[in-house]
Amino acid sequence: MERLLEQLERFAEVLAASRTRHAGSWGRVSVRRSLRWARYLRHVHGRFRRRGPVRGALEEGLRRLRLRPRAEAHAGPCLASGPGPLRSFEGLGRGDELLALGLLENAAVRGPALHELLRHLRPERGEPEEDEEDEEDEAGLRDRLAELARRKAASQLLLQLLGPDPAQAEPVLRRTEAELLLQRLREEAEGEAEPGAEALLLDLLWVQLPRPRWLDVVTEALLLQPTPRPDGDEDEEDPGNQTDLGPSAAEALLTWILARPAALATLCRLLPAPVLSSLAARYPALAEAFLDLLAQWGGHLQFDLVQGTWVGTGPERLSWERLRDCFQCFCQSPTSLRSQTLRVLNSYRALDGSFGAPGLSVWTDLLRDLGEYEPTGEAEDAETGAEMPAILDLGCRP
């Protein structure tokens, strides 16, 4: 077991190094050895796929690896965010693919080393030194890379079908990215690393991605419906199995958003109102946060007597229209969101003094605009009022 963990460590280092300039010093022997390790670990993955003590120990080893400070020339925070490093048990199953691709894409890798790699990627290699078992594994690697190329070509072909306009392909791309995000979050969660790991990752994304992009992906990830799988069995080759992703991964994302005012503010400010409403409808915690924030901003609106409209004065410059749109969508939602929204609006209106005249309280005007305005005193009866006519009817019947 010790030896296994040691090899795991060394291979993880090798894999990480394969994408850096350190790989420039590798020669034929190093490449051959690293491929052999990759093959061996793939065997290990195959043998211990069923969750058990060995798998647990390996995952523990991987966790420790991630937490170790990276002394190498690995630019970026200690969160190993670059491609390549082994993060999960599933990664062991495709270590050889990752290694091959890493070396291929790495400009620092020199001629002889790459030649050695390419030698392994074709059937007859001219040097019958390896035994049969390796041959089978190598065939496996070749087949998997070929399948990758095939799938890539298939994506290119089908892309044309999604529509002549590149924008028509966006939903598919966003969904894919959202799935990858959730998968990554799940990996972190399963690894039971320090609780900050997911937060670090999300922080990184927040910093690295352009805002619109970030918005799209995060919204998509939160709204993603699990796709029904025809076969019910657990498919370990596809770690992004939708049925596993659901609550836990999105929870991490949710927690992070709720803890980051800037992110919350971005969502409230920039997301289209219907989308914001769907998010709120799906996640009650978000609904509460949104309502609080919107209410807070709404409080900063002031009535411009000259123009006769409400104008945003706070730092967010939130416009009346935006506020109204958001609340309108919230009220149109079929779930409890509607009543929650009305409750908030009415309570703020009460705080303002429940004036009926326009221009005095932004909440009154909002309620009027939404068609939800009930003059004070009747608001509470509004719910029970519906029952009244029936009783009256009964009384009137001869």
Is residue 112 at the binding interface for another protein, with CB under 8 A as the rule?
A: yes
Helix spans in the chain (H): 2-17, 28-47, 53-67, 89-93, 95-105, 111-120, 132-161, 170-191, 196-208, 211-223, 242-259, 261-270, 273-282, 284-298, 320-332, 337-352, 362-370, 381-385, 388-396
CA distance 369 to 221: 33
**Which burial class, exposed, middle or buried, applies to 89 when counting CB atoms under 10 A from its CB (0-12, 13-18, 19+)?**
buried
Binding characters for another protein, 38-77, by CB under 8 A (x = yes): ----------------------------------------
Select 118 or 270, whichever has its Cβ closest to another protein.
Answer: 118
Q: What is the rounded CA–CA span in Å between residue 300 and residue 37?
A: 63
Applying CB under 8 A, which of residues 10, 150, 317, 368 lies at the interface with another protein? 150
Which position among 2, 75, 132, 156 is part of the footprint of another protein (CB under 8 A)?
156
Do the Cβ atoms of 189 and 249 come closer than 8 Å? Answer: yes
142 vs 269 by CB, closer to another protein: 142
Residue 301, helix vs strand vs coil: strand
Does residue 78 interact with another protein by CB under 8 A? no
Between 169 and 265, name the residue whose CB sits nearer to another protein. Answer: 169
How far, in Å, CA of 326 to CA of 104, rounded? 50
- Residue selected from 83, 226, 272, 356 as contacting another protein according to rule CB under 8 A: 83
Four-residue CA torsion sign, 305, 308, 314, 315: negative
Is 87 a binding residue for another protein by CB under 8 A? The answer is yes
7 binds another protein (CB under 8 A): no
Q: Which of 3, 53, 69, 124 binds another protein (CB under 8 A)?
A: 124
Span near another protein by CB under 8 A; candidates 175-183, 284-292, 349-357, 388-396: 175-183
Rounded Cα–Cα distance for residues 91 and 85 (Å): 9
Question: Does 204 engage in binding with another protein (CB under 8 A)?
Answer: yes
Least gap, CB of 197 to another protein (angstroms): 12
Q: Which residues bind to another protein, rule: CB under 8 A?
A: 80-85, 87, 94, 97-98, 101, 104-105, 111-112, 114-115, 118-119, 121-124, 142-146, 148-162, 166, 169, 171-173, 175-177, 179-181, 183-184, 201, 204-205, 208-210, 213, 217, 227, 238, 240
